[in-house]
Amino acid sequence: MTATDDENDGQATERVVIRDRRKIDQKSESKAPTAKGKASVGAHRAAEPEEEAPVAEPEAEEPKPALGAELEALRTELEERTHDLQRVTAEYANYRKRVDRDRGAAAEQTTGAVLTALLPVLDDIDRAREHGDLVGPFASVAESLTALTGKLGLTAFGEKGDAFDPNRHEAVAHQTSGDVTEPTCVEVMRRGYTLGERLLRPAMVAVADPE
List, in sequence order, the alpha helices (H) in 3-158. 3-31, 35-47, 67-131, 136-151
Residue 30 inside a domain? The answer is no
Can you give the pLDDT at residue 47?
46
The count of structural domains within the chain is 1
Containing 170, the helix (H) or strand (E) segment is: strand 169-177
Radius of gyration of the chain measured on its C-alpha atoms: 67
Residue 201 inside a domain? The answer is yes
Residues in the chain predicted with pLDDT less than 70, given as ranges, are 1-65
Predicted confidence (pLDDT) per residue in 61-89, tens digit: 555 557 888 888 889 999 999 999 999 99
Residue 167 inside a domain? The answer is yes
Residue 72 inside a domain? The answer is no
Residue 176 inside a domain? The answer is yes
- Residue-range definition of the domain harbouring residue 197: 154-211
Can you give the pLDDT at residue 55?
56
Can you give the pLDDT at residue 56?
53
CA distance 170 to 196: 20
Residue 164 inside a domain? The answer is yes
Can you give the pLDDT at residue 33?
47
What's the CATH code of the domain at 175? 2.30.22.10
Q: Is 183 helix (H, G, I), strand (E, B) or coil?
A: coil
Residue 47 inside a domain? The answer is no
- Which residues are 169's β-sheet partners? 203
Can you give the pLDDT at residue 148?
93
Q: Is 193 helix (H, G, I), strand (E, B) or coil?
A: strand
177, 192 contact by CB (below 8 A)? no
Can you give the pLDDT at residue 117?
94
Tell me which residue of 110, 112, 104, 106 sits closest to 193, measured CA to CA. 112
Can you give the pLDDT at residue 178?
87
Q: How many residues comprise the chain?
A: 211
CA distance 134 to 129: 5
179, 157 contact by CB (below 8 A)? no
Residue 187 inside a domain? The answer is yes
